[in-house]
Every structure is written in structure tokens, then in C-alpha cells.
Structure 1
Amino acid sequence: MTSPTLIRIGVMGAHSTGKSLLMRRIEMELRGQGVAVARTGNLGRRAALVPLPKMQHHTAASTTWIIATGIADEIAAAARLEEGPVQVVLADRACWDALAYYRAALEWRQQLAPRAERESVQQLASAHGYKYDLLLATVLDPDVPVEPKSERKPDYDPRYRTLVDRHTHEVLREENIRHVRITSDPASQDLAIEHALQLSMTEAPV
């Protein structure tokens, strides 16, 4: 049984823009304040074990898997009772994230998917996407270096990463979703963390 005042915080944005690090910082701050928090994650690594297209090769099927698995993870996280009822769930890759990656993949391939497939993915993301109490969206800074070329994954493509960033913010604008933009500026990240803490400490009983 979950807390009636469960807070859901999600993050989305292009890869290597600090999403996971941001969520880990929020998690540590909340735990330090005595808030029972659960964080989801590792969707990318788990997806690598599934024989479905990845990154710029995403399809409606692979995107559906990402969204559905992420939703299931969030539900399971909220149901944990090891340390008492969970008060805050941190979703590392909110469901809107997968929709942006899918749209970016279609543009990267210059492909128009069947309308039924596009609408199916959209509806699945929408069904859960409005449940976040706070949504954080990272902004790609092309001047910030990513991992060295020798350590990059074989499917890394800088143009696709740029497309993901653009579609991330287009999805948010089209759906009129309230969110907090986070740049590479440490002050921007600190403000986002403070925003998450204020929401959690105000709404979640400690």
C-alpha cells in the first residue's frame, strides 16, 4: 500500500546530459532529510538485453517496451515497503522521454511511421505522463564533451543526440506540460534539486 501523498518526479532529455546524476543527487538529499524515496533506472542497460532496435533505430515496438517497462518500474517502486511506505518516486527517464527518442529516430531515418503506430505510442505515454508532480527536462549543451570516442557505444550518433534534445522540448511544448528546464550550468541544476526538495518536503509527510 502506497502513501496517499506519493510524489512522482521524472526526468527526461538527451543521453549524456546528466539525467541520472541529477536524480541520484535528489535521492541523496531526500534520504538525508528522512524522506522515504525510491528511484527507478537502468532502462537503457536492460533494453540492451532485449533484441529490439535501439537509439536511432527505435521503432513503435521498442518504444512501447521502454514506456511500458518504465511505468511498471514506477508502480513497483511506489509499492516498496522495506523501509516503510515510499513517499517519493524518482523516475530516471519519464515516459515522455521514450516518445521523444522515437520521434527523433523517425526523423533521423527520414521515415514516416504508420499513423496507428505513432498514435499508439503517443497514447501510452500520455496515459501515464500527466501523473508526474514535477518533470525535469535537461537541455543539451553542445560545448560540454561526452565520453571519449574510445568509450562511446557503437550506436552513438551526435546528430541523433541533437534530434532527441529538440524533440524532447517539442513534446513538452506540444503537450503543454509544465516542467523545469535544466541547463549544464551548475546553478541551474542546484535550483532544480531545490525545487524537487521543496515539493517533496512540503507534500510528503516526514
Structure 2
Amino acid sequence: MNSLDQPVTIAVVGTHSTGKSTFLARLAHELRRTGLQVSTVADLGEQAQRMGLPILWNHTWTSTLWIMTRGISNELEAWLHGDVVLVDRAVPDALGYYRAALDYRGDTPDPDGWAYLETLARAHSDRYHLLLRTQLDPDIPLGTNKTRDGNQQFRTLADYHVGAVLNELALPWLPLTADGHEAALALATGFVAERLGDDAIPGPASATA
């Protein structure tokens, strides 16, 4: 139950270079021009790498736990500064990436360690009022705005396992396709309007979480 006093929280998950950051930047712009205060929580992958933590197909239990707990901490901090919080990679995303890394390497997770991460993801995930999952289109090339990993096999595994984790945790989510950003923007702004009771925000209020 979302009984805590928190802003409307919208999160996006999915494999890399599928439009998460681009969509959230557009959504933040649309919400801010209505006068709402918007806080954002950034993807932690590059920060983890700078610290020396393994990421992508080298993900470990420790690096996954760091991303999950640091992400939760950043989200809680963002609650203090916005009417709406936008999260680039919700906590279950890290769990999906860890499973993809294990699959890629042919490793088996420690059952107790996996159960700990899964419990953490499950316990926090009801903080997300609206969850969108990007859909991998292998025909769309990797973006060039920053250094990208070109391992398409792992990228595909991450797409699959992020979706599998969402389903196993029984989390409701909506698809975010490469050609569906306009519809998703309308849906998300409408969702915020419904949650906040702000008729000034345009868009259909048709999503539930």
C-alpha cells in the first residue's frame, strides 16, 4: 500500500539504449511547463563503473545491491523536492540485469543472496505509482550521445530478464515502444493530473497502478 506521504512516482525500466532517458527528459519538460516541481533520479550504471563496481554482464551480487540501495536512497531524497519524481531505472531493473549477467556467464546465483535482493525489490516496488518498460527493437542502432556497450547478446538478455523479474514480482507495467513516446507522454501526464487532481495538466487519465 502507498500509505507514505510521497510525490507521484513514475519509473522506467528496460535494457540499455531503448529510449528511457529520452522519454523521461521529455516527460519532465511537459510536467514542468505546467508549473509542477519535478525531481529526477538518474541511472546509476556509470557512477557504479566509475567507483570500480562491475556492471553489465559482469554484474555481481555486491554491485547489484549497491545499485538497488543507492537507487532507493536517491528516490527518497527526491521525494523531498518534487510534486512528481521520475526514476530512470526502477529498483527491479537492477535485479533483471543481475539475472541477465548470470545467464550470460552461465553462473548460478546463491539462493540466499538472490532471495535477499528479490525481497528488497519486492518491498520497495509499491513505491512506483506508474511503471513503464521499454521494448527492445534490435533494428534500432545504439545511441551515440554517450559511450554504449555494443554486446547485443547481453542487451537482449537484459531485455528478457528485466521483463521476467517484473512478471515474477507481479508488478503492473505498461509498454514504452520506440514509436509510442507521444502516446506514453499523454498517458503519463494524464496519470499525474488524475493523481494530483490538477485539471491544468493535459492528457487522458487512463492508467492505473
Q: TM-score, normalised by structure 1?
A: 0.88
Q: Quick one: which amino acid aligns to residue 46 of structure 2?
A: R
> For residue 80 of structure 2, what is the aligned residue in structure 1?
79
Alignment of 1:181 with 2:182, yes or no, is no
**Higher RCO, 1 or 2 (CA under 8 Å, sep at least 6)?**
1
Q: Quick one: which amino acid aligns to residue 199 of structure 1?
A: F
Deviation at 1:5, TM superposition (A): 5.9
Alpha carbons 1:39, 1:91 under 8 Å: kept: yes
Alpha carbons 1:5, 1:203 under 8 Å: kept: no
- Aligned pairs, number: 195
The structure 2 residue matched to 1:202, chosen from 178, 191, 194, is 194
Alpha carbons 2:6, 2:79 under 8 Å: kept: no
Alpha carbons 2:43, 2:89 under 8 Å: kept: no
RMSD of Structure 2 on Structure 1 (CA): 1.9
> For residue 45 of structure 1, what is the aligned residue in structure 2?
46
Alignment of 1:97 with 2:93, yes or no, is yes
> For residue 193 of structure 1, what is the aligned residue in structure 2?
185
| Structure 1 segments unaligned to the other structure (5+ residues) | 81-85
Alpha carbons 1:40, 1:73 under 8 Å: kept: yes
User: 1:18-42: per-residue Cα shift (whole Å, max 9, x none)?
Assistant: 0001111110000011111101104
Dislocated runs of 4+, deviation >3 Å: 151-156
Alpha carbons 1:5, 1:204 under 8 Å: kept: no
Q: Quick one: which amino acid aligns to residue 117 of structure 1?
A: G
The structure 2 residue matched to 1:168, chosen from 156, 162, 181, is 162
User: 1:61-91: per-residue Cα shift (whole Å, max 9, x none)?
Assistant: 10000011111111111112xxxxx211001
> For residue 83 of structure 1, what is the aligned residue in structure 2?
none
User: Using the alignment, how far apart are the partners of 1:106 and 1:43 within structure 2?
Assistant: 20
Q: Quick one: which amino acid aligns to residue 15 of structure 2?
A: A
Rate the CA distance shift 1:153–1:25 in 2: closer, same or farther, 3 A. Answer: closer
SS of match in other structure, 1:48: helix
Q: TM-score, normalised by structure 2?
A: 0.87
Alignment of 1:158 with 2:152, yes or no, is yes
SS of match in other structure, 1:27: helix
| Structure 2 segments unaligned to the other structure (5+ residues) | 199-209
